[in-house]
Structure 1
C-alpha cells in the first residue's frame, strides 16, 4: 500500500502522529496533512497498542492528534475503550524525554451529554488535558459534530454515507426520525484538527439540516448527475455533498459518453451542463507519450473530455495501490470526472496530438490552487 509517510520521518519538527489513522476521519486527516506536505506517523491503541513503538513515534514529534475512539458496541466496550485509549497515550507521553508540544483530541459535541459514549469521551478529554498540563504541553479539545465525506462506511459512519450508497444502488432511503443534524465535512474536520482552520470557524463550517432535507438534497444530486450534469455547487456544503456522493459511484459508471451531432458541416458535441455556480473551461494539446496531471484535489471538481486523439485517464485513491484506468478517444468523446482525494493523470497513447477539454467548478486562484502534486 502506498503511504506518503512510510512510517518514517525526515524532520521531527514537522511530524504529526495520528491514532485512528486507518478510520474514516483518520484517512481524511492523513490526506489533509499530505496535501500540506507534512509527515504523518500512525500508531495503534487498544489491543494492538505497543508502548515501545508508540514512544518511538511520539519522541520529538511536533504534534499528536488522537482520533481513535469507540462509538459502537456494548456500553462497557464504548466506555472502557475510549478511556483505555486515552490512558495508553497518557502513560506513553509521561515517559518521553521530548513529548510533542501540541496534543489535539478529536472529541465529540456529545461529550458530557450523559450517554455512555458522551461521558467516556469527556473522561478521555480530561485524561489527556491533565497529562498535557502536567507536562507543560498545549492541549486542544476539538469537539466535532456528525461527520460526512468521501468513502465513509454506509450503515456505520453516518446517515449521509447510507443515503449515498442507497441512492447509487437505485433505492430510495426512508426517513425514520426527521431530526435536525449538524453536519461537518471530514476535510473541514481535518483542517480543525491540524490547525489549518481555527476553532472559531467550526460553527461556520458546519451545516444544520433536517434528515429529510439532507435526503432531498442528495436525491437532487443523484438525479442531476445520473446523465453527467453537474448540480449547482455554489454552496460549499452542496459541493461537499456532491463530492461525497460521487465517491460511492462505481468505477465503471464514472464515464459519460456524449452524443455526436453530425451533418455535412461536421460534428457538434455537448460536453458539460452545469446547474449553477462559478466554473472555468480550458483546453490543452498534448504531444504523443506525454503525461498531464499527476495531482489531486481536496475539494475541486474537475472533468476531462478528450476531443481529438487517444488517451488513457488513470486515477488512484490516496494511500492505495489500485489504479483505475479509462481508455478514451476523440472518435467517441467521453467525459471522466476526477474524484476528490484521488491522484489522476491523462496520457497521450496515440500517434497524433491529443486535444483535451477541462472543466472545473471554480475560477482558478493561484494563491489557493487546491492542486497537490502526487503521482498516480
Structure 2
C-alpha cells in the first residue's frame, strides 16, 4: 500500500503561516517602516520577494516586477533582503514547533505543517496547541502568524489563509466537505494555473463543481491525477506530514542593472552566481548530480538548460564548469540577458535545505 494513502487514525494537523514574513521582520527591526507600504527585494531591475500588508491593497504581490509594483504604489519603499535575519527568526519559530511535536514539515522559512495527533505536552486539543504556538511566536519574535487546524494537510493549509493576518481557522471533519465545496479550485494544492484553466473550460470553477463530476469524467480529462482531484473535492487527503521532506534544488540567481550580451561579461557573472550558490549548497550539506542554468532575456522570456552528471558534483569548480558548458552552447545570445541563475538538483542528504526557497536572489 502507498504510504501516503494510509490513514489508520484521524490526524490532527496544523498549518502555520507567518504573516508577510520578510516584510514583517523588516518593520519589526526598523520601527520607521511600520504602517508603510514596503517591498522586500525589487530595486531597479528586480522582483518583489515579499510585500507588506500596507502595500497589498495597491495590488503589489510577490514575484511582481519592481517597476510594476512602483507604478501601482508610488510610495512603495524597497528594502534589500536580509536572508540571514529571516533564517534566524525561522529557527526561533521551528524551535517553538519542536516543543509540541517532532512531526514538523517545513515548506519554507515562513510556513510548516505540524502533526499534533500525539503532542509532546499532552494538551490533546489541536486548536489549543495552535493558539499557544501563535501566542509564543508573538511573544518571542514580535511577529504574528496565522494557522489552520484540520484533519488533513490539504484543508489545514486552505484554512490558514482564511483569516489572515493574525488569524486562526478550524475546520472539523464534519465541516470539511462543505468548506471545500465553496472554494475556487484554483486555490487547491496541485491545481496550477493551467489546470485551473482546463477545469474552467469544463465548467469546473469550485470544489462543488469538481465534486459533481464523475470519476470516469475526471480520468478522461486528467488521467492519473483524477483520483487525487476526486478526493480533494470531498475533503479527502492522505498525504502525511514528513519531517524529512527533501529540497528539490538549491542555487542562486542574479538580476542585472543593465542587460548583458557580451560573452565575457556573462561568464564573469556566472562565476559570481556559482560562488553564492555553492556557499548555500555547502551549508545545506547537499549533494546533487544535475546542474541547471536559468536565463531571463530582456523581454522576460525564460529558458533553462540542464546537464546531469554520473556522480554528485564534487566542488564549485565542477559546478561552475557544468554551468559554463551550458552557457557557451547558447552563445552568442540573440538578445540581452537580464538574469542568470544556477542551481543543483537531484539532491541527496538535503534535510537542512529550504523546500520553497531553493533559489537565492542576489
TM more than 0.5: no
Higher relative contact order (CA 8 A, sep 6+): 2
